[in-house]
A = this chain, B = another copy of it.
Amino acid sequence: MTVSAEQIKKLRELTGAGILDAKRTLEQYDGDFDKALAVLKEKGLKAAEKKAERVAKQGLIETYVHGGGRIGVMVEVNCETDFVAATNEFRQLAHDVALQIAATKPLYVSMDDVPADIVAAQKKIFADAALAEGKPANIVERIVQGKTDAFFKESVLLRQTFIRDDALTIQDLVQSVIAKLGENIVVKRFVRFELGE
């Protein structure tokens, strides 16, 4: 079967895979785009995990100011060498992440940054609300899990859907750049100011 150039291009954008890799995976799954995407994401995740232990101390501090000075974001994105930090792809990533933070107000970079007591407090609020509505215990558990996941998807930057492409999370976006540039990349920290808050 023939796979379209359009499909290959989109797959590469979403995963950072090479042309041949994207083409072969699509062919392997008879042009099933979603299946190929899942397989390439998984492959990218494994490759990124291998790089995750490598020291990332170079990179960029990027800022973005919105609304004529009403919202400001500063983010540090690390990579391994200043060579990679100077590439357009890396700069674009840092810029996209800053825009994302300005738009979506995350509270944490990754799941590791969410304090356990915050998670516990949120779960209790969700459980109390469900119980107050008279839901049975076995359902309450599922409701709490669902609402907790939604809370993470909202407040954890890497779990958020990328505002410029809803097929990707920010984690996926970072992984696609890792795949393209071949270095460990870490969103280290950010701050977001809103005027008079």
Contacts and interface: CB of A to CB of B under 8 A. Distances in A.
Interface of A: 57-65, 68-74, 76, 78, 85-86, 94, 189, 191, 193-196
B196 A59 contact: yes
B69 A61 contact: yes
Contact of A58 (B58, B60, B191, B195): B195
Contacts of A59: 69, 195-196
A5 to B, nearest CB: 35
Given A59-B195, A196-B59, A72 B74 contact: yes
Contacts of A72: 61-63, 74, 76
B60 A63 contact: no
A123 to B, nearest CB: 31
A117 to B, nearest CB: 23
A189 B194 CA distance: 11
A63 B74 contact: yes
A86 B37 CA distance: 48
Which of A58, A64, A65, A196 has the most chain B CB atoms inside 10 A of its CB?
A196
Nearest to A190: B193
Given A76-B193, A78-B196, A193-B76, A71 B65 contact: no
A53 B158 CA distance: 41
A36 to B, nearest CB: 35
A193 B58 contact: no
B69 A65 contact: no
Nearest to A56: B196
A74 B196 contact: no
Contact of A193 (B70, B189, B195): B189
A191 B74 contact: yes
11 contacts: A59-B196, A60-B195, A61-B65, A61-B195, A62-B69, A63-B72, A69-B85, A72-B74, A73-B74, A189-B193, A191-B191
